[in-house]
Amino acid sequence: MSLETLKLPFYVTTSEHDPVADFFDPVLERAQQYDIAVGYFSSAWLRDAAHGMATFAVNGGKARWVISPEISVEDFKSLQVDGQLSDERVQVFISQSYEDLYDHLTQHTREALGWLLLDGVLTFKVGIPKNRLSGIMHAKQGIFTDEFGSRVGFQGSYNLTGGAGTNWEAFSVFCDWTSSESLERNNRIAASFDRMWRGLDPNLALFEPSSADLERFVSAARDSSRHYELFPPEKPSSPRVPEHFLTDGRLRGYQEEGIRKWFKNNGRGILHMATGTGKTVTALTAVTRLNDFVAQKNGQLCIVVTVPYQHLAEQWAREAEEFGFEPVLCYGGVNRWMEECQRRLNELRSKVKQHVMLIAVNASMADEPFQSVLGSFDGNVLFVGDEAHNLGAPSNLQALPEGAAFRLGLTATPDRYGDEEGTDGLKRYFGEIVLDYGLDKAISGGHLCRYLYYPILVHLDEDEQDEYAELSTRIGRLFGQAAKPDSDKGEQLNRLLIKRARLVGKARNKLPELIKLLKQQGDVSHTLIYCGDSKENGQRYIDTALARVGSELGLRASPFTSEENNDERSRLLKQFAAGGIQALLAIRCLDEGVDVPMTRTAYILASSANPKEFVQRRGRVLRRSEGKTRAYIYDFIVVPDLEKLSNQAPSNVERSLMKRELARFNEFATLAENHGEALSAITEIKKSLNLLDH
């Protein structure tokens, strides 16, 4: 439930209120996170707030407390050596405080506290002032956060001591949604607590309880039945975020930030998240929380997810089922899904069901049958576009449901290559980017692994160079003509551009270099080889590469292309993960939605100039897996022959060849651990071609 449904006093005093009944209990019943720093803590407060804490635990809440034992002036002096706190003396004092606390608890409260600790609902640390400060920790502030990101903060003279009527105490309450001042107050409270919790407050010594300190509490729990029920039934009545996606009850910080900002933007926006950083889990968590929000208002929600490929739809369905959704897959023969889709929507209209999830591929989403079914529903619709950059094409933009009140776009590459109009169209539909978590942040944050980047410089042979020059001349002539209104040269120009790109992708000098590098690699395993989609003399380039890798090196290698069905691909990926297949050769089937986190080495023989392709490929290689600390990327870059350039000025053809490759090179080299080495590998060529500013 949302904290925003509560009507809370803005100022709580023990003269006018019961702090537990009027504030803590109702807030705890709706909160998912409870961070608090207080001067005193006693068993009486835990007893008084038992109901709220039990509900908090059942709802999957996580609490972090920074507390202080009661310390007299004499006690504080005894903890010092030469005017400084002695860690050893403090630890002894704190351990004795735990013993005193245990002795003063009733058996029931001991067991309840033990279960909160054992189940990971409660984590706490002890704070003792140092430097110029003395006595107890005087911070008395806390902040509650619900599953929608809404927060309630408080600050004042209140301690967790229980017996609310025995002392005059008061605190102010701040709700995010009531004013900008309250939002800023909560930001400061959250930042202050975070500094304390991470041990960054210079005036606070922080001590974590040892397992020995907590053993008596945990033993009391083990010897009793749980005082609350943490485990949901087999099929929860409403979807929930699976525990294995959570740490301390929350997603990763950037994921929570994206969800919170999406809600603050009225359920619209784009999450720009690097490949491998958990876009699907983030989206499903946002969907789950929105569904809860709608359900609290006795509403129904139709969730529509669209993805570019069937294997992505199946992957989404598997993960959605983990959350407790029962999705309908809407692609393939219309008769396979239409009737079920209509039945579910009828249940939604009649309120037999509270929500329904429909997963389509982009092609079926844009077709009339799906458009007709969705158009017949006039209730709340959440539209989720995975790999949203693909939806920027005119035909897809026209098919996006305008009636969807809530919209969420997911992409690792928010800008469409060479299509500013399509990029703007996506932002007009979904809203602006509410989370920007690209590869640079993902690597520095430790959510993708680091990598070494090695540009492998190869030349076109003479025949290829001549063909490249001829194609470039023809392309140059057509550019001006294709730009004119009503010109029919656009398709012809596109064919020539593809032909030239394929020529570079299958440059004959690449395969010998690949064989040499694989020999140097020695023990080849968990290796990806990206090939182009070209043919020569009727044979696919990937088959030529596969034959050489297998026959010359004796490697266990396999193609991974659109010709392999889903079952075959699944089998190949399992063998690849286990080491049975040493190398996979792919064209484009590993670009979107296929997880290969065990990959340690990638050879890129061919890549388009579209950042969508090479950014996603790199992200896929950088996924973390057990025992993997670093990835290695070998990028085959076609460059002009410097020896031939030594006696002549570079031509536009040679410059255009280099400029095409530089966009990818610069992107890969900049974030590499060995970026200096990588950048220097190509400096001389850039200088010779007057391209140092590229």
Final residue in a domain of this structure, among 170, 203, 222: 222
Alpha carbon dihedral 536, 538, 539, 542, in 10-degree steps, equals: 60
Q: Any idea which of 68-82, 445-459, 512-526 has the lowest mean pLDDT?
A: 68-82
What is the phi-psi region of residue 390: left when phi exceeds 0, alpha when psi lies from -120 to 50, beta otherwise? alpha
Q: What tens digit of pLDDT does each residue of 209-233 get?
A: 888 888 887 887 777 777 664 443 3
pLDDT digits (tens, 9 = 90+) for 432-468: 999 999 999 999 999 999 999 999 999 998 898 888 8
Do 49 and 111 lie in one domain? The reply is: yes
Those residues whose C-beta lies under 8 Å from the C-beta of residue 247, and which sit 6 or more positions away, are none
Residues 65 and 201 occupy one common structural domain: yes
Report the pLDDT value the prediction gives residue 403, as an integer from 0 to 100. Answer: 94
Does the residue 151 lie in any domain?
yes
Domain around 393: 251-444
What distance in Å separates the CA atoms of residue 290 and residue 286, rounded to the nearest whole number?
Answer: 6
pLDDT digits (tens, 9 = 90+) for 280-316: 999 999 999 999 999 988 899 999 999 998 888 988 9
Point out which residues pair with 247 in neighbouring strands: 250
Report the alpha-carbon distance of residue 694 to residue 678 in Å, rounded: 15
In this structure, the answer to whether residues 212 and 272 fall within a common structural domain is no
Are the C-beta atoms of residues 597 and 623 closer than 8 Å to each other? yes
Does a structural domain hold residue 235?
Answer: no
C-alpha to C-alpha distance for 279 and 593, rounded to whole angstroms:
11
Task: From residue 573, give the alpha-carbon distance in Å to each of 226, 598, 599, 627.
Answer: 42, 10, 11, 18
SS3 of residue 237 by DSSP: coil
| Per-residue pLDDT tens over the stretch 400-409 | 999 999 999 9
Please state, in angstroms and rounded to a whole number, the distance separating the CA atoms of residues 291 and 327: 14
The residue type at 581: I
pLDDT for the residue numbered 261: 97
Residue 38 near residue 68 (C-beta atoms within 8 A) = yes
Q: Say if residue 130 is in the same domain as residue 155.
A: yes
Q: What is the pLDDT of residue 131?
A: 65
| Rounded CA separation 252/246 (Å) | 8
Strands 355-361 and 406-411: unpaired
Position 531 pLDDT exceeds 80: yes
pLDDT at position 169: 74
Is 479 domain-assigned? no
pLDDT at 500 over 70: yes
Looking at the fold, whether 156 and 109 belong to one and the same domain comes out as: yes
Compute the distance between CA of residue 465 and CA of residue 330 in angstroms, rounded to an integer. 48
Inform me whether the pLDDT recorded for 173 exceeds 90.
yes
Q: What pLDDT was estimated at residue 164?
A: 40
More confident site: 570 or 62: 62
CATH of the domain at 611: 3.40.50.300
Calpha distance 557→525 (Å, rounded): 10
β-strands 141-145, 268-273 pairing: unpaired
Residue where the block lists tokens 């023809």: 474
Mean pLDDT of all residues in 51-55? 79
* Residues near 616 by beta carbon (within 8 Å), at least 6 away in sequence: 275, 412, 413, 591, 592
Query: Would you say how long the chain is, in residues?
Result: 694
Q: What is the 3-state secondary structure (H, E, C) of 133-183?
A: CCCCCCCCEEEEECCCCCEEEEEECCCECCCCCCCCCEEEEEECCCCHHHH
Q: Are residues 203 and 261 in the same domain?
A: no
**What per-residue confidence (pLDDT) applies to 105?**
58
Q: Give the residue among 37, 290, 41 at the shortest CA–CA distance from 149.
A: 290
Considering only 106-110, 159-163, 313-317, 348-352, which range has the smallest mean pLDDT? Answer: 159-163
pLDDT score of 592 more than 60 = no
- What does the pLDDT read at residue 593? 59
Query: Does residue 431 sit in the same domain as residue 458?
Result: no
State mean pLDDT over 560-585. 84
User: Cα separation of 605 and 636, whole Å?
Assistant: 5
Q: Of the candidates 204, 222, 240, which is a domain's last residue?
A: 222
d(CA 305, CA 311): 14
Mean predicted lDDT score pLDDT of the chain: 84
Q: Which residues pair with 408 in a beta bridge?
A: 269, 384
Rounded to whole angstroms, the Cα distance separating 203 from 588 reads 56
Return the SS3 of 413.
coil
pLDDT above 70 (res 616): yes
Predicted local confidence at residue 485, as pLDDT: 60
Alpha-carbon torsion, ordered 681, 685, 687, 688, to 10 deg: 160
**151 contact partners, CB below 8 Å, separation of at least 6:** 3, 143, 144, 145, 175, 176, 186, 190
Domain finish residue from 399, 415, 444? 444
Q: How many domains does the chain divide into? A: 3
Please say if the pLDDT value at position 54 is more than 70: yes
Predicted confidence (pLDDT) per residue in 322-363, tens digit: 899 989 999 888 887 888 899 899 999 999 899 999 999 999
Per-residue confidence (pLDDT) for residue 247, from 0 to 100? 81
Domain membership of residue 471 (yes or no) is no
| Residue 275, in any domain of the structure | yes
How many H helices and E strands in the chain? 28, 25
Q: If you average pLDDT over residues 532-546, what whole number do you get?
A: 87
- Of all residues in the chain, the percent with pLDDT exceeding 90 is 42
pLDDT score of 488 more than 50 = yes
Greater confidence, 419 or 290?
290
Structure-block tokens of residue 623: 């996924």
How are strands ordered across the β-sheet holding 527-530? Answer: 450-458, 630-638, 601-604, 527-530, 583-586, 557-560
Q: 675, 677, 514, 662: which is closest to 602 by C-alpha? A: 514
Domain membership flag for residue 122: yes
Asked whether residue 489 is assigned to any structural domain, the reply reads: no
Q: Are residues 136 and 121 in the same domain?
A: yes
> Nearest CA to 616 among 274, 277, 384?
274
Task: Give the pLDDT band (50/70/90) at residue 235.
Answer: very low
Residues 271 and 161 in one domain: no
Q: Is residue 566 part of a domain?
A: yes
Residues 575 and 623 in one domain: yes
User: Strands 80-81 and 84-85, how do they pair?
Assistant: antiparallel
- Would you state the pLDDT for residue 69? 67
Express each pLDDT in 88-104 by its tens digit.
Answer: 777 777 777 677 666 55
Confidence (pTM): 0.64
Q: How high is the pLDDT of residue 163?
A: 43
Please say whether the beta carbons of 461 and 508 come within 8 A: yes
At 524, list the tokens.
Answer: 């080849």
Same domain, 289 and 187: no
Q: Enter the tokens of residue 612.
A: 């969508």
20 and 126 belong to one structural domain: yes
